[in-house]
Amino acid sequence: MERFEHKVVVVTGAASGLGKATALAFAARGATLALCDVNAQGLADTAAEIAEVSVAPFVRTVDLADPGACKGFITEVATSLGGIDVLVNVAGVLGFTHVADVTETLWNRVMAVNMSAPFWLSQAALPHLLERGGNIVNVASSAAFLGEAYLVPYTASKAALVQMTKSMAMEFLKQNVRINAVAPGGMNTAIGANESLPEGADMALLQRFMPVRPMAEPALVADLIVYVASDRAANIHGACLSTDAGITAG
């Protein structure tokens, strides 16, 4: 099993779903955790669960749509915990809607959380990661590689995140840091719990990107994130690893 004793791991979106599963997975492996989410109650619940089995995590309620809040969170983590070894950008939002009904507010929110926040967090964290030979793991999606009806802002943001990961990896190719992404398919999470399909949605179009195999439990994806962040994955840099039960295979 990968171990992270004496390493500071930052996980965004830790209040629920994959972010929570990722935080729990790192906690089980000895990491010192710094967690954030916009959902204060969910974040507190995650922290309490971790505190039962490990050291209580550093937690902050943060709206990642605010670049200043992203940078401030990283600065506070590094100051409070003495540095950063791993940044895992999990937080994300969906937004089912017809193209004609996409508003500036929806577009900007999806892009801010899914693509811009990982950039601002990474930019702020990189000096600390370079100092300690750390790494970044961005959570993309199978949607980065598939056209998905009624999810244009989401798929665009995840495709941009993949290319951002690769370009940042190339810029830091000769330096002591690794930058990667993982791309899950459908998971049993609450990310779409408050989402509804747009009126008149064509189910035949939706079925084109529905998984054939069962939805993955978040812990399965979290295990891949932990591996990519570990020293065992020292040769993985600039990659986007799929964990989507074959949905992008053909």
Identity of the residue numbered 35: L
User: So what's the pLDDT on residue 197?
Assistant: 81
Catalytic one of 26, 154, 172, 209 = 154
**pLDDT value, residue 48:** 98
pLDDT digits (tens, 9 = 90+) for 44-60: 999 999 999 999 999 99
pLDDT of residue 54: 93
Q: How far apart are CA 143 and CA 149, in angstroms?
A: 10
pLDDT of residue 211: 74
Q: In this predicted structure, what is the pLDDT of residue 206?
A: 78
- The reply to whether CATH 3.40.50.720 applies to domain 8-243 is yes
What are the residue ranges spanned by the domains of the chain?
8-243
Residue 176, both tokens:
């002591």
Q: Residue 89: which of 116, 55, 109, 51 has the closest Cα?
A: 116
- Is 227 catalytic? The answer is no
Which stretches in the chain have pLDDT values below 50? none
51, 57, 60, 62: CA torsion to nearest 10: -100
Nearest-10 Cα torsion for 14, 18, 21, 23: -40
The pLDDT value recorded for residue 92 is 96
CA R_g for the chain? 17
DSSP assignment of 63-117, as one string?
-TT-HHHHHHHHHHHHHHHS--SEEEE---------GGG--HHHHHHHHIIIIIH
Pairing of strands 32-37, 8-12: parallel
